[in-house]
Structure 1
């Protein structure tokens, strides 16, 4: 996803190590999913955590628009489902295989949460990962809000800078940045 990739890489490696240490307690299940398979559905209960070991998945959210928005495309070594597991207990987005087959390691939420009770390091790594994702999401929201304000003013220079900052994050966000630039140009 978006964020400080060096920090995220360290967190991912540490989580993989800790998952190996707690293998017996976690009772992981290997899963294979085909392209197009829905792994998690927005609005469903979050009952497990998955580690994507190969393939690509898209995190998509559908709110008011008829088509879902792709928030991120994730590759191997990403954790899936942690936000629902640690948050409201409900998935806030769909997770669909977009390049597969995808190989995953699935752990029940109950087993994972029990393991966290006895491993402060694992709990801290999960907090770090969730915190980094929230921080990155806040940055994107801030950029989009700045873009809306710049489009309203017709400030094409600021819009170009914002679009440049958004473009490398994700295809869907890149499209949003481009749309803001178009709106600003119409306003100018």
Structure 2
């Protein structure tokens, strides 16, 4: 799901350029994180933005189940923490290093937001990125809801078609649609 947005490559380059141009104002800090380390905790205040420069992280959400659900696994060069920074002010998911060690560049959220005032194009690209991620999530959620409806009807052909539609969009969530297919088969 994440990492395939068309504007992401441009955004990555703009952020690197922004870090160079506004280095003194942003005061970026290089961080190293070992495998298994939690970089962001769901519900905690979003106080920084990170650029993953090496390694892989999992974006995980915990709701009612004890075990977290993995929404995405992303690798360098991925932006982390922007949703909490621009949204509610808190992280909506955990971000954990799953293949490390990971290297990151961390910037204070306040410094980043102040710097955006000087680069309207970057601000628009950030909004576009967040919007694209929301659209992609909405599509996957809609397909999962269609899958639940198909499972309720016992329509295994529709459930299989939905699982196939989700697979290229998001590998991690495609596992949930595969479970729906299995559920439908067991009902038949």
- TM-score under structure 1 normalisation? 0.93
Deviations 1:112-157 (A, max 9, x none): 0100122101111110111111111111111101111111111111
Q: Which residue of 1 aligns with 2:112?
A: 112
Distance between the aligned counterparts of 1:108 and 1:15, measured in 2?
Answer: 14
In the alignment, does 2:7 pair up with 1:7? Answer: yes
Distance between the aligned counterparts of 2:143 and 2:12, measured in 1?
Answer: 26
Distance between the aligned counterparts of 2:59 and 2:76, measured in 1?
Answer: 14
Distance between the aligned counterparts of 2:159 and 2:61, measured in 1?
Answer: 25
Contact 1:85 1:109 survives alignment (8 Å): yes
Contact 1:40 1:95 survives alignment (8 Å): yes
In the alignment, does 2:46 pair up with 1:46? Answer: yes
Q: Which residue of 2 aligns with 1:30?
A: 30
Distance between the aligned counterparts of 2:150 and 2:83, measured in 1?
Answer: 31
Which ranges of structure 2 fall in alignment gaps of 5 or more residues? none
3-state SS of paired residue (2:133): helix
Deviation at 1:71, TM superposition (A): 0.6
Q: Which residue of 2 aligns with 1:79?
A: 79
Q: Which residue of 1 aligns with 2:178?
A: 178
Distance between the aligned counterparts of 1:12 and 1:152, measured in 2?
Answer: 43
Deviations 1:90-116 (A, max 9, x none): 111110000001000000011001001
Q: Which residue of 2 aligns with 1:146?
A: 146
Deviations 1:147-171 (A, max 9, x none): 1111111111111111112223444
Deviations 1:54-96 (A, max 9, x none): 0000011100011000011010011000001111111111100
3-state SS of paired residue (1:172): helix
Which ranges of structure 1 fall in alignment gaps of 5 or more residues? none
Q: Which residue of 1 aligns with 2:164?
A: 164
Deviations 1:27-79 (A, max 9, x none): 10000000011100111111000000000000111000110000110100110
Distance between the aligned counterparts of 2:16 and 2:177, measured in 1?
Answer: 34
3-state SS of paired residue (1:6): coil
Contact 2:19 2:28 survives alignment (8 Å): no
Distance between the aligned counterparts of 1:10 and 1:145, measured in 2?
Answer: 33
Q: Which residue of 1 aligns with 2:70?
A: 70
Aligned residues: 188
Change (3 A) 1:7 1:56: same
